[in-house]
Every structure is written in C-alpha cells, then in structure tokens.
Amino acid sequence: MLPAYVPGDRVVTLNWSPITVGDVVVFVDGRTKLVKRVADYKNKVFLLKGDNVAQSTTVYEVSRASIVGKVIYKY
C-alpha cells in the first residue's frame, strides 16, 4: 500500500460507517487480514486493490461481511 501506508503503520478502523470507492479498508482473506483500497462497488461486492500497482497485482472481490472496517486514522 505504498506510498500511503508503509510497513509498521498502525491504523484505526471503523466498522459502522459507510464504505465508498477510494476508502482504505481492512478485510479478512482466509486467515489473514489485508489492507487494500476500494476500487469499485457493484452488486454488493467490493473490488479491492493495492496502491502499489508495481507489486500488488491481486484484485479482491469481497462482500461487506469480510470487511473488518474502514481505515479512519493512521499513526
């Protein structure tokens, strides 16, 4: 998620606010939590991508239930 987020960054997420395109979210993928940005939202499915396109090539299609929360603060 470079350059917006670097390894070691900590984030606060909120689970009850609306999620829109451009938001950064934490979501569950299998047994791992991942941080990605919402690229699109169609038919109740969020399309999530990394900012660092050179290294992050996987596109995730996830439901709202898989999203832990929207990132509202980074420190």
Binding region for another protein (CB under 8 A): 1-2, 5, 7, 10-12, 26, 29-36, 50, 52, 55-58, 68, 73, 75
Least Å distance, CB 74 to another protein, is: 9
* Residue among 33 and 64 whose Cβ is closer to another protein: 33
CB of 11 vs another protein, minimal distance in Å: 7
Nearest-approach distance from CB 13 to another protein, in angstroms: 9
Q: Which is nearer to another protein, 36 or 38 (CB)?
A: 36
8 A C-beta contact, residue 70 and residue 24: yes
CA atoms of 9 and 21, how far apart (whole Å): 22
Tell me the C-alpha distance between 5 and 2, whole Å: 5
Q: What angle do CA 29, 32, 38 make, to 5 degrees?
A: 50
Q: How many CB atoms lie within 10 A of CB 61?
A: 12
